[in-house]
A and B are shown apart, each in its own frame.
Chain A
Amino acid sequence: MADIAHTSKGDECEVVLHCPPELKKIPLVNHDRSFAWITENVASICEEKTRRYWWIAFLLFTPIALLVPTLLSYQVANGVGVWGENQPFGWAWDITNFVFWIGIGHAGTLISAILFLTRQKWRTSINRAAEAMTLFAVMCAALYPGFHVGRFWKAWYLFPIPNHMALWQNYRSPLLWDVFAVSTYFTVSVLFWYVGLIPDLATLRDRAKSKIKQWGYGLAALGWRGGNRHWQHYEMAYLILAGLSTPLVLSVHSIVSFDFATSVIPGWHTTIFPPYFVAGAIFGGFAMVLTLMLPARLFYPQLDDMITRNHVDKMAKIILLTGSIVGYAYLMELFVALVYAGNFYEYNAFYNRATGWYNWHYITMMTCNVIIPQLFWSKRIRHNYIWVFVICQFVNAGMWFERFVIIGTTLAQDFLPSSWGHYTPSWVEVFTFIGTFGMFISLFLLFMRFLPMITIFEVKAVKPEADPHHEPDHSHGEKAAHPKEAAAH
């Protein structure tokens, strides 16, 4: 930009401003794709003939998913003893996996709600897939407490339903808060996801060639016609849902952390848990979003113009930020326990975490969650998809280890050495956990196949020409006719 010379009244003084060159805005959609191009390239994924590698992936992961119903049936038939939990390990892999999966869901809500409220327009091309991921992760999570109650057919006692036993819930228990938080979270996530889908389902309905698709997508689209009188309420509903989901998502993992924090076990009884759990959940969730989106981009190269390097870069930065918050929390926890608190049991719990029976879990957690994500300081690594993918796998693993460290090491070595105990997961637990990954990925593959993976209408809306006051580079007849009106707005 040229220098700007500013002259004040009477030529008494002259101010010369040296402006730096104007920063170029990084486009959210590369190659300046048209609206029609976006519709065509996202919708065609659901319309084309199923690709071979989709079938390969699906046939690979569904048998793994079938482990879940099989092993849960085995558990119901034989009792909860087929899992490895026993005193003092009342909670082990089951709650670890529950917290792991529910945490993953948080990234989806963060992208759809918090980034919406903060006007981060880059969220538009990843929010649909991330929200779908949230739903599938919460489904995997909900299995664990449901089946850990032992008598699964009595799991409805969790809800406040009057019954012949005159049993009633204890509203002072964080486990009951969990029931309310997780079920509200799932319901609101489904609503949010569905509301976002309505206009895109209408697009698929209008493009559908076969009667069945027209009916299917048509029913789901509710007869959406895209009138501005509808958009007005729609946008308000979307804004409100984003505003509701933000405190909701923060409350869900806070309440999950209360399961531990409100107990009196050393190592659990800390006030740092709620913010630290929430940061950890977003950290792990973003790693899972990238774990799913990077291969999806590989399968469908046309997505490259919508999920750009810029998007991956930003997600890597969020992983770096939240990973550093988590690292800070780990160190602060150690400082409080070892140096500051002066509580012998607290000191012992953390000393045993770092050096005791399960110290390799602790070392793995520190390495995967604190040290390795620091590589994202390098732009070259953030822009290399293979590096990003590999680091995300470390984060996924690290977050699982974090939950086990919190739950496992604490229960293994608490107050009295006479009541200490080891824990080994049973084969049923191990394969159920593997099965949940199969279930998660199979559901995601089905979602990719039948629903638009990218929010078509929102990606269109963030293109520069979606703004009615946008001046196209090439002169436009329509625009030139109303120069005054354009200036007035």
Chain B
Amino acid sequence: MAESTKRLHAIGAEFDTTSAIYHAAEKVRDAGYTNWDCHTPFPVHGMDKAMGMKKSWLSAFVFVCGLTGFITGLLLVTVTSFGLYPTIVNGKPNDWTHGAGAMQFFFPVMYELTILFSAFGAVFGMIIRNGLPKFHHPLFNWSRFAKATDDKFFIIIESSDPMFSETKTKAFLDSLGGKHITPVFDHE
């Protein structure tokens, strides 16, 4: 790939310990950067606060999914048992007017579907929100970055950040104690 087509994606710095990246993250937050992230091998406790992030809204999405599951279960059992295939079992009422009094037998199906839909919401909500799957990402071009899933901690400040400046950001990361400060390009 010719040098001219390379586009700077971000500048990355490596840290050795959780406390080092934690305190560095607080400084990046205070400096006012917005398009940046801390890449760690495991979730670091309190990092959301150090990065100035709000609570994940995934729970609200899951609630909606759970509600959908509950309503699906409710309609599945009532519409079919009272409307489409009315069957008398154990002498229990099988029509809309009296059926509501014998709903407790329908509860397990509604319960399981609520859980099933919520679980799908949690997993796929998380995957979609995180923009996964994403098999090609500029960060994978940086060979040291493979350590992000092992024992090193990385701060990546993206070039799309309004405060980004190749020289200043580099110096800033250096002042935070970052090692192996490297520009990461879109292409290798």
Contacts and interface: CB of A to CB of B under 8 A. Distances in A.
Contacts of A226: 39-41, 148-149
Nearest to B48: A232
B11 to A, nearest CB: 15
A9 to B, nearest CB: 37
B36 to A, nearest CB: 9
A230 B56 CA distance: 10
Given A171-B106, A228-B38, A234-B130, A181 B112 contact: yes
Contact of A202 (B20, B81, B85, B149): B149
Nearest to B66: A244
Given A168-B80, A236-B58, A248-B115, A35 B41 contact: yes
Nearest to B37: A227
A170 B87 CA distance: 8
A301 to B, nearest CB: 22
Given A233-B126, A237-B125, A465 B18 contact: yes
Interface in A168-206: 168-174, 176-177, 180-181, 184, 187-188, 191-192, 194-195, 199, 202-203, 205-206
For the side of the interface on A, what is the size category? Answer: 35 or more
A476 B40 contact: no
Interface string B39-63: 1111111111011010010110010
B133 interface: yes
Contacts of B111: 247, 251
A178 B62 CA distance: 24
Contacts, number: 222
A379 to B, nearest CB: 32
B112 A184 contact: yes
B126 A461 contact: no
Contact of B109 (A176, A457, A460, A465): A176
Nearest to A170: B89
Contact of A229 (B20, B37, B105, B151): B37
Nearest 3 A-B pairs (CB), nearest first?
A468-B22, A35-B151, A237-B126
Given A223-B133, A229-B51, A468-B44, 10 more contacts: A180-B109, A199-B149, A225-B139, A228-B51, A230-B130, A234-B126, A235-B56, A244-B119, A251-B111, A465-B18
